[in-house]
Amino acid sequence: MRKYEDTWVVDRTMFEYVNQGGCSCCGVTHTIMNLADFASKCSDWETDDENKEQFSPWPMFIHEEILTERARLRMAMKADMNKYKDFVETHMKGFIDWWSRLGENTKTRIFQLPSEEVLSYFRIQTKVKGSYEILLCAILEQIRHFQETGYTDGRVAAELFFEKNLVHQRDSFVLDSQYIANEAGDKNFFEMLTILGGPKLLPVRTGTFKCEK
């Protein structure tokens, strides 16, 4: 098993879950959700993704908790989609003009995101907890080392281009200096903002990319 690959994420989550005292009787502290209920909350799920969930590696007592928390997170993120959609429709032209006038140093500071702020968002804004919070911590660690795994998570070309330029330095996520300096980076950023507005939470894959692993 190579470190930071998906099998590592599963093992890391289970190890932390057990060491934090989680168990089948106390680990699930809220209403659990079966797969059918979960799928109903994920109407934009691709069929292949739904089928894969049937073969989840998680033990049943942790699987149902993860399903529930994932559904709650998706619902919270879906609720934010209209904000992005309204922003794009109302302010995008002015935003593009404003962004184009910014210097590279300012853009670099804007794009800088400390890792801990990502976890704080999940904890405070979406209130994830239990085994799913532990899983998100492991996934965040995996994302810090995406360059080592060779994984890609994007579904469309814009996401893959963004991932290629996303790096982790000094406990923060930043974008490559060439991304910030070039017009192609600006265009990609604007496209990513548009994607956040939907119509689906996760864009439908447009095909299989050669770099996918």
What does the pLDDT look like over 169-201, one tens digit per residue?
989 999 999 999 999 999 999 999 999 999 988
pLDDT at 43: 56
The CA distance from 111 to 88, in Å, is: 19
The answer on pLDDT for 74 being more than 60 is yes
Lowest mean pLDDT among 9-23, 63-77, 140-154: 9-23
> Model pTM?
0.75
The domain segmentation of the chain, as residue ranges, is 6-196
pLDDT at 50: 53
pLDDT at 196: 93
**Which residues 6+ apart lie within 8 Å of 202 measured at CB?**
44, 155
* Burial (Cβ within 10 Å: 0-12, 13-18, ≥19) of residue 206: exposed
pLDDT at 30: 43
Lowest mean pLDDT among 2-11, 33-42, 151-160, 162-171: 33-42
**Which residues 6+ apart lie within 8 Å of 143 measured at CB?**
168
Lowest mean pLDDT among 31-35, 118-122, 151-155: 31-35
Q: Could you tell me the two tokens for 34?
A: 């079966």
> 97-106 in b/e burial notation, b at 16+ Cβ within 10 A?
eeeeeeeeee
206 or 67: which carries more pLDDT confidence? 67
